[in-house]
Amino acid sequence: MASPALPALAELLAAAHVVSLPLTTRFRRIDTREAVVFRGPEGSTEFSPFAEYDDIEAATWLAAAIDFGWRAQPSPLRDRIRVNATVPAVDASRVPEVLALYDGCRTAKVKVAEAGQVLADDVARVRAVRAALGAEGRIRVDGNGGWNVDEAEHAIHSLAEFDLEYVEQPCASIAELAELRERLHDWDIPIAADESVRRADDPLEVARAGAADLLVIKAQPLGGVHSALDIVGEAGLPVVVSSALDTSVGLSMGAWLAASIPTLDFDCGLGTASLLAADVTARPVRAVDGFIEVERVELDDALLTQHAASVERDAWWRARISRCYEALTTLELVRPDR
């Protein structure tokens, strides 16, 4: 299949708005979320790789922004997506406060293995989530690769009493995931891969290695809706569509991806606008009765002005776009218009 054409760099930069949005609680060790949103011919789109990612990795996120803003999307198979609540590595006493941000969500993803914390903190947090959701609620935990195999096995045994739906990226490497999955064979606790998909040179390697029971799929890190759908089709495993602390624009991209997958058995991690204290639209993509709608987001000029990044950060992001654009042409992921 031919690669889609790139809009001119000048067109991208002219359409770009760099914003800095405060969070409701510290997440991924940050208190504000910076992002670039654009008005493209097909609608609003987003470029928001985390600051520590290098230009080659971030270029895939730019490809996703171009895909969603400058290319027609697949026809969605559903008009709304059931989503989970996301509980950061907060003190257990704050769990009810966090869950209250997610209207009607029956599932919670709980962050564990946070640097500077211990297993007792994780157990207390997950226990508080179980108490809040009740016996019918669904709990999944996310280690972001923070444990080695022995630590992960011990932690999962300690958390098993809370009836885990699955454990997301407990260890960093594919080899570790495969070993852990074998150790947990008799425990019936599925392993989900996230970083081993979105930050891998080959996002299908973890599936081929038999190292995961399901995959966490994110639209931006995988190059956009079309590219992510190809990966889902080739992987042959159940998937959960999730976000990377996107603005509502990025969440709409994720919702479009989720709506385009034929079989979607798990609640999706696309309710994270509730972790933002501000957004780029007057109608944030937040859960209502446990669902978000599949629709394009309209940017709000007043909010873009109110939350515009500083002059220095605006320049930093525009320079990053330019470098990533050059990387795209070098990697031939997409081709520039002539």
Taking phi first (over 0 means left), then psi (-120 to 50 degrees means alpha), and beta for anything else, what does residue 290 get? left
Q: What share of the chain in percent tops pLDDT 90?
A: 92
142 is in an annotated binding site: yes
Residue in 266, 272, 223 with CA at minimum distance from that of residue 243:
272
Report the pLDDT value the prediction gives residue 331, as an integer from 0 to 100.
Answer: 72
**Which run of H or of E encompasses 155?**
helix 149-159
- Give the separation between CA 314 and CA 145, rounded to whole angstroms: 31
Distance (Å, rounded) from C-alpha 246 to C-alpha 116? 25
**d(C-alpha 162, C-alpha 179), whole Å:** 23
User: Is 79 annotated among the ligand-binding residues?
Assistant: no
pLDDT (mean) for 194-205: 94
pLDDT for the residue 333 = 52
Q: What fold characterizes domain 5-73+301-336? A: Enolase-like; domain 1 (3.30.390)
Dihedral angle over CA of 307, 294, 270, 185, nearest 10:
-160
Domain segments of the chain: what residues? 5-73+301-336
Element (H, E) at 47: strand 43-47
Distance CA 181, CA 185 (A): 6
What is the signed CA dihedral for 26, 83, 240, 334, rounded to 10 degrees?
-80
Q: Which residues are the active-site residues?
A: 111, 218
Q: Which residue has the higher pLDDT, 26 or 194?
A: 194
CB 87 within 8 A of CB 95: yes
**pLDDT at position 145 over 70:** yes
Instruction: Answer yes or no: is 168 a known binding residue.
Output: yes
Lowest mean pLDDT among 57-61, 309-313, 333-337: 333-337
- Confidence band for 25, pLDDT divided at 50, 70 and 90: confident
Rounded to 10 degrees, the C-alpha dihedral 228/230/234/236 comes to 60
